[in-house]
């Protein structure tokens, strides 16, 4: 599978402190903020060739499709240039449903994606080439 990094999602506990850090300490340009069915608050930052998303999950409604084996708070978003179904099959070889999700509509933006978990428990979101991380979230 050929893929390039598109975004990093960081799950945070104290959203306002984290946003302040990225804005004022790091000087990263904030593109927008929102809330939806799965996030109390979220913010999208422009970090050059990659986007950074800070998100505080809703305790009552965490993000769907998350594999149970995902224990990290930083998720890497990759965009594949190959067929997403083929990438899902290749990534899923020897994996259980706790380690890889089904292909589904992306929560934010357009397109389809799936979640996978590496051997250390870090989550990777693999999406179709052109998944848009700058558009409004789906509610």
Please report which confidence band the pLDDT of residue 123 belongs to, taking 50, 70 and 90 as the band edges.
very high
Q: Is the dihedral of CA 46, 135, 9, 115 positive or negative?
A: negative
Write down the pTM of the prediction.
Answer: 0.82
CATH number (3.65.10.10, 3.40.50.150, 3.40.50.720, 3.10.180.10) of 3-128 reads: 3.10.180.10
Domain ranges of the chain: 3-128
Give 26-67 pLDDT, tens digit per residue: 999 999 999 988 889 999 999 988 899 999 999 888 888 888
List of residues 6+ apart from 41 with CB closer than 8 A:
15, 33, 34, 35, 55, 56
């Amino acid at each position: 599978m050929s893929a390039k990094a598109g975004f990093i999602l960081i799950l945070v506990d104290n959203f306002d402190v984290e946003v302040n850090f990225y804005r004022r300490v790091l000087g990263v340009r904030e593109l927008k903020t929102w809330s939806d069915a799965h996030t109390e608050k979220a913010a999208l930052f422009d970090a050059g060739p990659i986007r950074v998303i800070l998100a505080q999950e809703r305790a009552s409604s965490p993000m769907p499709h998350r594999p149970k084996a995902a224990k990290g708070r930083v998720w890497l978003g990759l965009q594949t240039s190959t067929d997403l179904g083929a990438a899902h099959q290749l990534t899923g070889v020897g994996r259980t449903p706790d380690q890889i999700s089904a292909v589904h509509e992306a929560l934010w933006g357009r397109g389809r994606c799936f979640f996978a978990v590496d051997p250390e428990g870090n989550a990777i979101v693999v999406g179709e080439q052109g998944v848009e991380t700058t558009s409004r979230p789906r509610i």
